[in-house]
Amino acid sequence: MNSPGCQQANCSETLKEGMGLTPEGRRESRVCTVRVPINIALVKYWGKRDQTQNIPLNDSLSLTINSLHARTTLRVNYEIGTDSVKINGKSQTVTGSRYQRVFEEVRRWERKRKAGEVAEHPVSIQFEITSETNFPVSAGLASSAAGFAAIAECLQKIFGFTDSQKSQLARLGSGSAIRSIFGGLVRWRRGTQPNYEDSIAESFPSTHWPSLRALILVVDEGRKEYSSTDGMQRTVETSTLLERRIECCDVNIDKICAAFSNRDFSAMADMIMRDSNNFHAVCMDTSPPLMYLNDVSRTIIRLVHVYNEKNGSTVIAYTFDAGPNATLYLEEDTVQDFLDFATKQLRFAESAQTEVEEILGHKLDESVNNGALAQILQVIYSQVGGGPQLLSLH
Ligand code: DP6
């Protein structure tokens, strides 16, 4: 079986203060390029106590998915100009956006930092971002998490910010982005301080589980009906179940971390599925309900339970974010048998069949379901636990 690519965290460099002045004494532009994987939550973040700062009502926990990433270049020019953001070749509106929120925060910090010094150089800063993702944006595959974590990573490298500042910048862009600034199993603590400085991400120490894999089944490549931001606010305003969910998150996170430490896949998988189902129950308890799952998602849920029963133990887990695409967690030695099983139960688009064949390293037999009414459009197989990678800095 072919092994999916692995990334190592490699982000210890930053630029030294005072580098690169132009002959006129202005600071030269700085450019940073990073690659940052998405993360998929095992215990979901859903609901905010501060909507502007993206402060959550509950702690959440996630794993990074190495094969799905944003490759982002950030250029900082020390002059007055218009900020620009391009994602997958498409220019984004910056005014009034989350990007602007992040840029303004950096300008504010830089002004504050300069205030005590002789202001030799103006603090005018212009930002230019170009970012490419290797997966569909806004289809519930956490694209903003990778994108904003990458921006925060670049900003840290260029300005020498602390990890706590990097956390804040990622979070300002998108809450779940805070969990992509580290590799591995990452917990985002909701925090209790009024200034939110303890609402930060923490990397779980015993993160190395080399045989763990993610298998993503894309069932819909379209934009989701309600954004997470709007959806969770509606839940906060209308759901009576949310309060109970919030009470349980810490305990569930502790159980998953304990299972992870003991390499107890079955205990971990059980909690992951329970959290996903609980999260979607809360979405259904929202008025009007948030229906992120579709018929294919529900078929996958049934299939996983049938497969686990057939095996006599829980060897595969599903989780669904705010969209119908499934993320399955399993160990490497389960992948082949599960895919053999799934390709007989679900209909795969031709390109998805090819992806399965690449994962298995052999052709599927003729009897495999295929055809016009494909349920599975894309299959992504990945190692988990990779972190941000610095590609260049100058
Ligand atoms: C279901 O992080 O996209 O994926 O903070 O408003 O940008 P904002 O929301 P976002 O919400 C993610 C919701 C989720 C669960 C999770 O990733 O924890």
What digits encode the pLDDT tens for the residues 51-78?
Answer: 999 999 999 999 999 999 999 999 999 8
List the one residue out of 334, 210, 313, 219 whose CA is nearest residue 268.
313
Q: Report which ligand 1 atom has the smallest distance to the Cα of 40.
A: 17
pLDDT at 6: 35
Q: Report which ligand 1 atom has the smallest distance to the Cα of 322.
A: 1
List the one residue out of 293, 303, 273, 292 whose CA is nearest residue 369.
303
Do 71 and 9 form a contact (C-beta atoms < 8 A)? Answer: no
45 lines ligand 1 (CB under 6 A): yes
- Rg of the chain in Å (alpha carbons): 22
3-state secondary structure of 250: helix
Do 367 and 347 form a contact (C-beta atoms < 8 A)? Answer: no
The CA-based diameter of the chain, rounded to the nearest angstrom, is 75
Q: Does 275 lie in the same domain as 181?
A: no
Any idea what the CATH number is for the domain that residue 329 is in? 3.30.70.890
For residue 12, is it within any domain?
no
What digits encode the pLDDT tens for the residues 183-217?
Answer: 999 999 999 998 898 999 999 877 679 999 999 99
Q: Name the pLDDT band for 16 (thresholds 50, 70, 90).
A: very low
For residue 235, is it within any domain?
yes
- Parent domain of 268: 212-383
For residue 169, is it within any domain?
yes
Atom 4 of ligand 1, nearest CA residue: 321
CA–CA distance, 102 with 108 (Å, rounded to integer): 10
pTM of the predicted structure, to 2 decimals: 0.90
321 lines ligand 1 (CB under 6 A): yes
> Going by C-beta distance under 8 Å and a sequence separation of 6 or more, which residues neighbour residue 238?
285, 286, 287
Q: Does 178 lie in the same domain as 72?
A: yes
60 lines ligand 1 (CB under 6 A): yes
For residue 4, is it within any domain?
no
3-state secondary structure of 317: strand
Q: Report which ligand 1 atom has the smallest distance to the Cα of 177.
A: 2
For residue 200, is it within any domain?
yes
Q: Report which ligand 1 atom has the smallest distance to the Cα of 229.
A: 6
For residue 17, is it within any domain?
no
Q: Does 261 lie in the same domain as 174?
A: no
Q: Does 226 lie in the same domain as 204?
A: no
Q: Does 287 lie in the same domain as 200?
A: no
Domain boundary among 208, 236, 266: 208
Residue 150 CA neighbour count, 13 Å, CB half: 34
Q: What's the whole-number mean pLDDT along residues 157-169?
A: 94
What digits encode the pLDDT tens for the residues 257-272?
Answer: 999 999 999 999 999 9
For residue 332, is it within any domain?
yes
Domain boundary among 183, 208, 233: 208
Q: What is the dihedral of CA 151, 326, 213, 69, to 10 degrees?
A: -20
Q: How far is the CA of 3 from the centre of ligand 1 (A)?
A: 29
Any idea what the CATH number is for the domain that residue 68 is in? 3.30.230.10
Q: Name the pLDDT band for 26 (thresholds 50, 70, 90).
A: low
Q: Does 171 lie in the same domain as 228?
A: no
229 lines ligand 1 (CB under 6 A): yes
pLDDT at 33: 98
Highest mean pLDDT out of 289-293, 345-349, 367-371: 289-293
Q: How far is the CA of 121 from the centre of ligand 1 (A)?
A: 39
Q: Give how many domains the chain has, as a whole number.
A: 2
Q: Does 123 lie in the same domain as 109?
A: yes
CA–CA distance, 142 with 136 (Å, rounded to integer): 10
Q: Does 250 lie in the same domain as 109?
A: no
Q: How far is the CA of 311 from the centre of ligand 1 (A)?
A: 33
CA–CA distance, 322 with 286 (Å, rounded to integer): 13
The CB density around residue 126, as the number of other CB atoms within 10 Å, is 17
CA–CA distance, 156 with 163 (Å, rounded to integer): 8
For residue 196, is it within any domain?
yes
Q: How far is the CA of 19 from the centre of ligand 1 (A)?
A: 37
3-state secondary structure of 126: strand
* Token pair in block for residue 174: 């998108």
Q: Does 170 lie in the same domain as 258?
A: no
Q: Does 68 lie in the same domain as 47?
A: yes
pLDDT at 22: 63
| Angle in degrees, CA 281, 309, 336, rounded to 5 | 100
Domain boundary among 192, 208, 224: 208
Atom 14 of ligand 1, nearest CA residue: 321
Q: Does 52 lie in the same domain as 201?
A: yes
Q: Does 219 lie in the same domain as 199?
A: no
pLDDT at 222: 73
